[in-house]
């Protein structure tokens, strides 16, 4: 069934297709038909970051940037959902077109640039939803904020997300916001993580609630920076690492004319680099910090491989676009 739907959706620009798909899901849900979807196979639940996950298959940030579709997405069988990336102020993102589908390679290039409605409206969307599952809130800095002041933007979003998130993700690895990846360098990274950790302690004491925070890293990060990230994460007891964001590399898709488009490449072409980065940080972190594996997971075997190589949980996004809801079933069945 999804193959038919996909053929229709792929007739449109990827960003337009996304809005059509979400609009369609909204209608199907309003008719009560989403409840008729077969239940995903049972997986063994697990506790990560002191949070219980009914299954380890989550939705990565990017699909529901503004937390508008939580009630719908919760019916697809995910073990957890991550929304965002959300910034302090609303921003339109980069000019369109900004998303490009590489159908044969099962990849997507995007340069959205953190288009979102801002943290206040996103939190209102969360508060008005009926979602009661595990919720990650992915936060970033505004495009206009100088890199030297980036920590201020993250702290604003961190404070406003704290009570509503099961966990919070510090996104410092998108290639689509100018200079953002500089935050993975030693000095910027240590200052940012130190500030977030200090704020976490204050908020935990004030609210009597501990909300874990994770850091999302790039597959393009140098070994030197990966070592520094791991050292600082261990030093400040970061709760988790997400490996990885999209890549700016194009070696695997050069035969596609769209490979020249700027932006981050996701989907199947990202898999090996994301896995390589995950394996490296897993060895460096010595099992002291949990990892969420994301990037190019397109099959049950892909997901199992990520879990067998250091990931405690996994996330999908491009795989959902290319494979549909069945991918969640396939992953849960393979993982068990």
Strands 167-171 and 213-217: parallel
Give DSSP secondary structure letters for 58-74: EEPTTSSTTS--HHHHG
Cite the DSSP H helix spans in 208-299: 223-235, 271-285
CB-neighbour burial class of residue 248 (10 A; exposed 0-12, middle 13-18, buried 19+): middle
Strands 80-86 and 135-139: parallel
- Each residue of 60-78: b (16+ CB within 10 Å) or e? bbbbbbbbbbbebbbbbbb
DSSP H or E run through 48: strand 46-48
* CA–CA dist 134, 166 (Å, integer): 6
Catalytic residue list contains 174: yes
Catalytic residue among 174, 218, 266, 318: 174
* CA–CA dist 239, 168 (Å, integer): 10
* CA–CA dist 285, 283 (Å, integer): 6
For the annotated catalytic residues, the residue numbers are 174
């Amino acid at each position: 069934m999804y193959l038919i739907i996909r053929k229709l959706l792929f007739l449109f620009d990827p960003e337009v297709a996304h809005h059509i798909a979400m609009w369609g899901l909204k209608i199907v849900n309003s008719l009560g038909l989403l409840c008729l979807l077969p239940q995903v196979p049972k997986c063994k639940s697990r506790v990560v970051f002191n949070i219980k996950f009914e299954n380890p298959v989550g939705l990565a940030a990017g699909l529901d940037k503004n937390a508008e579709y939580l009630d719908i997405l919760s019916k697809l069988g995910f073990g957890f959902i991550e929304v965002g990336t959300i910034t302090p102020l609303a921003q339109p993102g980069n000019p369109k077109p900004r998303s490009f589908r590489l159908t044969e390679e099962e990849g997507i290039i995007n340069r959205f640039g953190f288009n979102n409605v801002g943290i206040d409206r996103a939190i209102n969307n969360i508060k008005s939803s009926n979602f009661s599952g595990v919720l990650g809130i992915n936060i970033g800095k505004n495009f206009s904020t100088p890199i030297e002041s980036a920590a201020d933007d993250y702290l604003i979003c961190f404070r406003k997300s704290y009570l509503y998130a099961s966990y919070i993700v510090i996104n410092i690895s998108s290639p689509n916001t100018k200079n953002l990846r500089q935050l993975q360098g030693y000095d910027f990274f240590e200052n940012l993580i130190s500030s977030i950790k200090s704020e976490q302690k204050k908020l935990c004491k004030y609210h009597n609630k501990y909300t874990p925070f994770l850091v999302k890293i790039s597959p393009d990060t140098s070994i030197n920076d990966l070592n520094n990230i791991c050292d600082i994460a261990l030093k400040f007891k970061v709760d988790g690492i997400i490996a990885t964001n999209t890549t700016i590399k194009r070696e695997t898709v050069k035969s596609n004319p769209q490979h020249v488009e700027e932006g981050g490449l996701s989907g199947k072409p990202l898999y090996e680099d994301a896995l390589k980065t995950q394996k490296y940080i897993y060895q460096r972190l010595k099992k002291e910090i949990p990892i969420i594996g994301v990037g190019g997971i397109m099959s049950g075997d892909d997901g199992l491989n990520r879990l067998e190589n250091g990931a405690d949980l996994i996330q999908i996004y491009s795989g959902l676009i290319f494979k549909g809801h069945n991918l969640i079933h396939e992953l849960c069945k393979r993982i068990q």
